[in-house]
Structure 1
Amino acid sequence: MRHVEICILGAGPGGATAALHLAKAGQQVLLIDKAVFPRDKICGDGMSGKVISELRRLGPEVLSRLSASAAQIPSWGIDFFAPNGRRLSVPFKPKYNAATDAPAGHVIKRLDFDDFLVREARQKPEIELLEGVDIAQHERTADGRWLLRTASGEAVASANVLLVANGAQSAFARQIGGRIMEPEHHCAGVRAYYEGVTGLSPDNFIELHFIKDFLPGYLWIFPLPNGQANVGVGMLTQAVSAKKVNLREKLAEMLATHPALQERFGTATRLTPVRGFGLPLGSKRRAISGEGYLLLGDAASLIDPFTGEGISHAMVSGRHAADWATRALAANDTSAAFLKQYDAAVYHRLGQELRLSYWLQRLLQFPALFNFVANRAANNATLAETLSSMFLDLNLRERLRQPGFYVKLLFGGK
Structure 2
Amino acid sequence: MQQHDICILGAGPGGAAAALHLANKGIPCVLIDKAIFPRDKVCGDALSGKVVSELKRISPDLLSSLSGQEAQLPSWGIHFISPAGHKLSVPFKYNYDPTQDAPSGYISKRVDFDNFLIEQVKQHPEITLLEGIDVAKVERTDHGFSLSDKSGEHQLRSRLLIVANGAHSSFARQTAGIKQEPEHYCAGLRAYYKNVAGLDKDNFIELHFLKDFLPGYFWIFPLPGGHANVGVGMLSETVSQKKVNLKKEMLRMIETHPEFRQRFAGAELIGDIKGYGLPLGSKKRVISGDNYMLVGDAASLIDPFTGEGISNAMISGRWAATQAELCLQQQNFSADFMQHYDKAVYNRLWKELKLSRRMQRLLDYPWLFDQVASKASKNQALAETISCMFTDLDLRERLKQPSFYLKLLFN
Q: TM-score range by the shorter chain?
A: over 0.9
- One-letter code of the match for 1:411? K
- 1:160 is aligned to 2:144: no
1:11-30 pair list within 5 angstroms: 11-30=11-30
- With over 3 angstroms needed to count, the CA separation of the structure-2 counterparts of 1:389 and 1:67, relative to structure 1, is farther
Moved more, 118-127 or 370-379: 370-379
Q: Deviations over 1:228-250 (max 9, x none)?
A: 00000000001011111111111
Aligned residue number for residue 136 of structure 2: 136
Distance 1:247 1:260, change over 3 A: same
Counterpart of 1:236, as a letter, is L
Distance in 2, Cα, partners of 1:152 & 1:372 = 59
Report if the CA contact (8 A) 1:380-1:411 is conserved: no
Corresponding residue for 1:10? 10
CA-CA distance at 1:151 after TM superposition: 2.9
- Residue 377 of structure 1 aligns with which residue? 376
Query: Counterpart of 2:35 in structure 1: which amino acid?
Result: A
Structure 1 residue matching 2:364: 3-state secondary structure: coil
- In structure 2, the residue matched to 1:120 is 120
Structure 1 pair 411/402, CA: closer, same or farther in 2 (3 Å)? closer
Aligned residue among 402, 406, 411 for 2:407? 411
Give the counterpart letter for 2:124 in structure 1: K
From the superposition, tell whether residues 110 and 271 of structure 1 become closer, same or farther in structure 2 (CA, over 3 Å).
Answer: same
Distance in 1 of aligned mates of 2:402 and 2:54: 28
- Counterpart residue identity of residue 209, structure 2: F
Equivalent residues, number? 408
Counterpart CA distance in 2 for 1:409 and 1:382 is 12
The amino acid that maps onto 1:198 is A
Equivalent residue number for residue 147 of structure 2: 148
Q: Residues 317 and 141 from structure 1, CA distance in 2 versus in 1: closer, same or farther, beyond 3 angstroms?
A: same
Partner of 2:107: 107
Q: Is the 8 A contact 2:358 2:400 kept in 1?
A: no
- Listed one character per residue, the Cα deviations across residues 119-176 of structure 1 (whole Å, up to 9, x for unaligned) are 000000100000001112111112x221111134455211111100000011111111
RMSD (Å), alpha carbons: 1.9
SS in 1 for 2:57: helix
- Structure 1 residue 402, shift from structure 2 partner: 7.9
Larger mean CA deviation between 368-377 and 118-127 belongs to 368-377
Question: How far is the alpha carbon of 1:384 from its aligned partner?
Answer: 4.7
Alpha-carbon distance between aligned partners in 2 of 1:329 and 1:252, rounded to the nearest angstrom: 52
CA distance 1:93–1:172, shift in 2 (3 Å): same
Please, what TM-score do these two structures have when normalized by structure 2? Answer: 0.95
Q: Which residue of 1 aligns with 2:316?
A: 317
Residues 34 and 404 from structure 1, CA distance in 2 versus in 1: closer, same or farther, beyond 3 angstroms? closer
Matched, 1:239 2:235: no
Q: Is the Cα contact below 8 Å between 1:383 and 1:410 reproduced in 2?
A: no
SS at match of 1:341: helix
Residues in 2 aligned to 1:406 and 1:65: alpha-carbon distance in whole angstroms: 45
Give the aligned partner of residue 212 of structure 2: 213
Residue in structure 2 matched with residue 269 of structure 1 by the alignment: 268
SS at match of 1:357: helix
Is contact 2:304–2:360 with CA below 8 Å preserved after alignment?
yes
Look up the equivalent residue of 2:407 and give its one-letter code.
F
CA offset at residue 298 of structure 1?
0.3
Hey, what's the Cα distance between the residues in 2 that align with 1:40 and 1:402?
39
Task: Map 1:173-212 to 2 at 5 A.
Answer: 173-212=172-211
Shift of 1:405: 6.5
1:242-266 residue CA offsets vs partner (Å, 9 max, x unmatched): 1111111111110111112110001
Identity of aligned residues (%): 56
Q: Is the 8 A contact 1:145 1:161 kept in 2?
A: yes
Which amino acid is the alignment partner of residue 138 of structure 2?
H
Q: CA deviation at 1:367?
A: 1.1
Q: Which residue pairs with 1:335 in the alignment?
A: 334
Shift of 1:409: 6.7
Instruction: Quote the offset at 1:324 in angstroms.
Output: 0.7
**Shift in Å, 1:30:** 0.5
